[in-house]
Structure 1
Amino acid sequence: MSVDAFAHTFLVAAPPARVFEHLADPHSYVGLSPLVVAVRDVRTDGDQVGYVALERFRFWTNRIRVTMTLDPAAPAVVSDVVSPGRVRLRAAVTLAPSGAGTEVTETITVDSPSLLRRYVVRTARSVQLRRAAELTRRMSAGPS
Structure 2
Amino acid sequence: MPIETWQHMFAVAAPPETVHAHLADPHSYVGLSPLVVAVRDVRPVRDAQGRAALGYVAVERFRLGPLRWDNPIAVTLSTVHAGRALASSVVSPGGVRLVATTELAPHGPGTQVTETVEVRCPAVLRAFVLRQARAVQLRRAAELARRMS
TM-score, normalised via structure 1 length: 0.94
Q: List alignment gaps of at least 5 residues for structure 2.
A: 46-50
Number of residue equivalences: 140
Whether 1:71 and 2:93 are equivalent positions in the alignment is: no
Q: CA deviation at 1:53?
A: 0.5
1:76 and 1:94 in contact (8 A); partners too = yes
State which of 123, 130, 135 in structure 1 corresponds to 2:144. 135
Q: Which amino acid aligns with 2:10?
A: F
Counterpart Cα distance in 1 of 2:9 and 2:52: 24
Q: Which amino acid aligns with 1:44?
A: P
69-78 or 24-33, which moves further after superposition? 69-78
Partner of residue 27, structure 1: 27
State which of 100, 111, 119 in structure 1 corresponds to 2:109. 100
Deviations 1:54-78 (A, max 9, x none): 0000131100000011135351110
What SS does structure 2 have at the residue aligned with 1:34?
coil
Q: List alignment gaps of at least 5 residues for structure 1.
A: none
The percent identity for this pair of structures is 62
TM-score, normalised via structure 2 length: 0.91
Partner of residue 14, structure 2: 14
46-55 or 23-32, which moves further after superposition? 46-55
Partner of residue 118, structure 1: 127
Runs of 4+ in structure 1 displaced over 4 angstroms?
none
Partner of residue 40, structure 1: 40
